[in-house]
């Protein structure tokens, strides 16, 4: 009986095996797609890569077992429901791969698809609208990071089960207006049309839908935002940055009570920030930078325990920074506004603050010593304000500091020797603030990018990515009235990349210990009263690409070496008392060939005149001899010559 049951079970398995495989027409459609992809590569050198990429795709096996293919798990039959065909081009040399939108045609025969991902393939051409109309079961469609152009087909917005639609980083120009009359998209939760060329107003139909993630950044959209957009309790992410939106924000913005990320940067919004924004209790990322917002007060964020990043930089805010912020704020950027007065001690409450950036404002008063209590600070940027007084020694409590920019203020006194205690500049942390912040719901995830840090890096204004914060370390005290000598204790800051103390009143010698900062890339000591020579130890700095010691009182030879020889701009050594070296094409005194002592020179001169005298005497004697022989020089006989001779005879 047991053998009979086993035999019956075996027959049933054999009988049902064909039905557990994917349908033949779906297999053939996928094989046609494979053939089209392979034919799109124009060289034979990548044959091995192409075969390996679709090694499991062959006519003798079940397509449900192929890589990048998922099938339904139904016992009655199995059909293809998901294709993950993203990043195919990255595995082939792009210069030999040209994919057009026609390559998608075979896939439109698989009507059971619920998930289709063909992102990051650089597919060119217009979207085949009729083809997507066949995929009526689609729940998720990812077409991002390709080269599609033209209009977005209205057929896409008729897919009634569609929840996730990503068409970012393409070249689409317009959204069909007739979508406003359609109700099929009632399940849409994620819409990403960023980094295209979309024009026109914010779609009214989109404002009235219950969409959780709306990402339209990097387009050419204009106009004001419809108030109905913020009546949605489902709205979690709204990213409209880098467009041309203008006008004031709707006063009911606080009605979107579950909004986690609001990114409106790089637009032309103006007016005050609505007070109702304080009602967004789940707000984690707020970026309103690079607009024209104004007002002498800011909303009170202290009751919101979620905000991690608040960026209000590059606007027209004025008055004192007197608002309260969440105690959990990690990044607070208020730079490039018109804030004035003294800094509020309320900032002291933010005990998790990692970045405080208030550069380019009109803040006055003494250097704020309460900052010394925010021990988590890694970035402190007070550049271009009017801070006075000396730098307190307590700043050495900020051991995590990696970037300290106090340039262009009115600070006086000495550079604290305790700067050498900045652990963050001795060895940078492996932890990064990160240039993105993640948001996740039960169905979707999103990463919001944080604006780059804007700093004076290597004598130019540059944006530095937060992602690589662990490799940055900067100390900029330039454009102040600091005096005294450069502390030798700074030699402990081994991770320092940029050190700038230019345009101060520093004096004394350049510490030879700066040669121990082996990671230093830029050293600016210009416009001070430094004297002595440039230490030979600086030749050890193999990463150094900028050395500016101009406008000091330095003398002597500029150190040479493989790296020092490359820094040969004479302007970086100008206006000193006596520098020399190959970098400025001025020879040093010791470079001349050695000369003989004065005594030897006198003797040489005597021998030369002695030779003249001897030559003259010899010439005279020879001349006389010649004349004598020629009888031109015979002595005349006296008149009584003969008489005298006769007398001698007598």
Q: What is the pLDDT of residue 593?
A: 64
Contact 71, 79 (CB under 8 A): yes
Question: How long is the chain?
Answer: 650
Q: What is the pLDDT of residue 531?
A: 96
Contact 358, 381 (CB under 8 A): yes
96 pLDDT tier (thresholds 50, 70, 90): low
Residue of 527, 507, 537 lying closest to 574 (CA atoms)? 527
Q: What is the pLDDT of residues 201-210, one digit of tens each?
A: 999 889 988 8
Number of CB atoms found within 10 A of residue 546's CB: 17
Q: Which two structure tokens, joined as six digits, stand for 107? A: 């896939």
Q: Coil, strand or helix: which one is 266?
A: coil
Q: Do domains 17-188 and 436-591 have the same CATH topology?
A: yes
Domain 17-188 bears CATH identifier 3.90.1640.30: no
561 pLDDT tier (thresholds 50, 70, 90): confident
- Phi then psi for residue 238, to 5 deg, are -135, 110
Pairwise pLDDT comparison (427 vs 274), residue with the higher score: 274
Q: What is the pLDDT of residues 471-493, one digit of tens each?
A: 789 999 999 999 999 999 999 99
Q: List the helix and strand counts (H, then E) for the chain.
A: 8, 41
Q: Is the pLDDT of residue 607 over 60?
A: no
State how far the Cα of 106 lies from the Cα of 30, in Å rounded to an integer.
7
Could you state, in order of their start, the residue ranges of all structural domains in the chain? 17-188, 189-363, 436-591, 610-649
Residue 603 is inside which H or E element, if any? Answer: helix 598-629
Strand 80-84 and strand 69-71: the pairing is: antiparallel
Number of CB atoms found within 10 A of residue 461's CB: 8
pTM for this entry: 0.82
Q: What is the pLDDT of residues 120-156, one digit of tens each?
A: 999 999 998 889 989 999 999 999 999 999 988 888 8
- Mean of the per-residue pLDDT values of the chain: 83
State how far the Cα of 20 lies from the Cα of 23, in Å rounded to an integer.
9
437 pLDDT tier (thresholds 50, 70, 90): low
Percentage with pLDDT > 90 across the chain: 56
C-alpha dihedral (480, 482, 488, 491), degrees to nearest 10: -20
Q: Which two structure tokens, joined as six digits, stand for 118? A: 């063909």
Q: What is the pLDDT averaged over residues 84-97? A: 71
Pairwise pLDDT comparison (367 vs 222), residue with the higher score: 222
Name the CATH architecture for the domain at 436-591: Alpha-Beta Horseshoe (3.80)
- Phi then psi for residue 566, to 5 deg, are -80, -20
Residue of 144, 172, 28 lying closest to 86 (CA atoms)? 144
424 pLDDT tier (thresholds 50, 70, 90): confident
Q: Coil, strand or helix: which one is 70?
A: strand
The position carrying tokens 């026609």 is: 102
* Sheet of 410-413, strand order: 388-390, 410-413, 481-484, 505-509, 529-532, 553-557, 578-580
Residue ranges of alpha helices (H) inside 191-343 are 204-207
End-to-end C-alpha distance for the chain, whole angstroms: 194
Q: Coil, strand or helix: which one is 572?
A: helix
Q: What is the pLDDT of residue 325?
A: 86
Q: What is the pLDDT averaged over residues 507-532? A: 95
Contact 231, 252 (CB under 8 A): yes
Task: Give the DSSP letter of residue 342.
Answer: P
Q: What is the pLDDT of residue 98?
A: 79
Instruction: Annotate 144-172 with three-state secondary structure.
Output: CCCEEEEECCHHHHHCCCCCEEECCCCEE
Q: What is the pLDDT of residues 441-479, one digit of tens each?
A: 545 555 556 666 777 766 777 776 766 677 789 999 999
Task: Give the DSSP letter of residue 333.
Answer: E
Q: Which two structure tokens, joined as six digits, stand for 23? A: 């349908």
Q: Is the pLDDT of residue 94 over 70?
A: no
State how far the Cα of 156 lies from the Cα of 167, in Å rounded to an integer.
11
State how far the Cα of 563 lies from the Cα of 85, in Å rounded to an integer.
49
189-363: CATH topology is: 3.80.10
Q: What is the pLDDT of residues 314-340, one digit of tens each?
A: 999 999 987 788 888 999 999 999 999
Chain center to CA of 159: 40
Residue ranges of alpha helices (H) inside 189-260 are 204-207
Q: What is the pLDDT of residues 106-123, one digit of tens each?
A: 999 999 999 999 999 999
């Amino acid at each position: 009986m047991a053998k009979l049951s086993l035999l019956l079970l075996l027959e049933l398995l054999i009988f049902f095996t064909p039905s557990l495989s994917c349908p033949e027409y779906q297999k053939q459609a996928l094989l046609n797609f494979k053939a089209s992809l392979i034919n799109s590569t124009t060289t034979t050198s990548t044959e091995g890569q192409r075969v390996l990429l679709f090694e499991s795709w062959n006519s003798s096996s079940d397509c449900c077992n192929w890589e990048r293919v998922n099938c339904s798990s139904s016992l009655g039959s199995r059909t293809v429901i998901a294709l993950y065909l993203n990043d195919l081009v990255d595995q082939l040399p792009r210069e030999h791969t040209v994919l057009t939108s026609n390559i998608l045609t075979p896939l439109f025969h698989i009507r059971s698809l619920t998930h289709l991902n063909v992102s990051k393939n650089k597919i060119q051409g217009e979207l085949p609208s009729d083809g997507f109309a066949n995929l009526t079961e689609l729940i998720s469609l990812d077409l991002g990071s390709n080269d599609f152009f033209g209009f977005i087909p209205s057929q896409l917005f008729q897919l009634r089960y569609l929840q996730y639609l990503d068409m970012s980083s393409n070249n689409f120009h317009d959204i069909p207006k007739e979508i406003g009359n359609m109700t099929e998209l009632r399940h849409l939760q994620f819409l990403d049309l960023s980094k295209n060329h979309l024009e026109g107003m914010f779609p009214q139909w989109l404002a009235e839908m219950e969409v959780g993630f709306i990402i339209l950044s990097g387009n050419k959209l204009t106009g004001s935002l419809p108030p109905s957009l913020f009546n949605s309790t489902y709205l979690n992410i709204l990213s409209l940055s880098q467009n041309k939106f203008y006008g004031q924000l709707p006063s009911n913005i606080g009605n979107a009570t579950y909004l986690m990320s609001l990114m409106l940067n790089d637009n032309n919004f103006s007016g005050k920030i609505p007070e109702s924004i304080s009602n967004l209790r789940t707000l984690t990322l707020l970026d309103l930078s690079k607009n024209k917002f104004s007002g002498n007060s800011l909303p009170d964020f202290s009751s919101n325990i979620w905000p991690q990043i608040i960026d209000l930089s590059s606007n027209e805010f004025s008055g004192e920074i007197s608002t309260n912020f969440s105690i959990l704020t990690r990044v607070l950027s208020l730079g490039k506004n018109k804030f004035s007065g003294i800094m509020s001690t309320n900032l002291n409450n933010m005990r998790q603050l990692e970045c405080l950036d208030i550069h380019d404002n009109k803040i006055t008063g003494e250097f704020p010593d309460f900052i010394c209590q925010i021990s988590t600070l890694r970035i402190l940027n007070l550049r271009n304000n009017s801070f006075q007084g000396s730098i307190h020694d307590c700043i050495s409590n900020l051991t995590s500091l990696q970037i300290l920019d106090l340039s262009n203020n009115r600070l006086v006194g000495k550079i604290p020797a305790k700067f050498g205690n900045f652990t963050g500049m001795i060895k940078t942390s492996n932890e990064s603030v990160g240039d993105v912040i993640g948001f996740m719901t039960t169905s979707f995830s999103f990463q919001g990018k944080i604006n780059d840090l804007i700093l004076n890096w290597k004598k130019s204004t540059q944006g530095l990515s937060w992602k690589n914060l662990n490799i940055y370390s900067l100390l900029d005290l330039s454009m102040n009235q600091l005096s005294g000598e450069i502390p030798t204790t700074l030699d402990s800051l081994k991770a320092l990349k940029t050190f700038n103390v230019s345009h101060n009143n520093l004096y004394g010698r350049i510490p030879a210990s700066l040669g121990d900062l082996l990671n230093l890339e830029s050293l600016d000591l210009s416009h001070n009263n430094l004297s002595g020579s440039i230490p030979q130890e600086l030749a050890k700095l193999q990463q150094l690409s900028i050395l500016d010691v101009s406008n000091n009182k330095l003398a002597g030879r500029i150190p040479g070496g493989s790296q020092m020889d490359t820094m040969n701009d004479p302007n970086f050594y100008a206006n000193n008392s006596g520098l020399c070296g190959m970098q400025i094409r001025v020879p040093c005194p010791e470079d001349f060939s050695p000369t003989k002592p004065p005594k030897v020179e006198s003797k040489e001169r005597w021998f030369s005149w002695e030779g003249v005298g001897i030559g003259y005497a010899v010439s005279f004697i020879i001349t006389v001899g010649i004349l004598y022989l020629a009888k031109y020089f015979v002595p005349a006989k006296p008149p009584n010559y003969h008489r005298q001779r006769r007398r001698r005879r007598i």
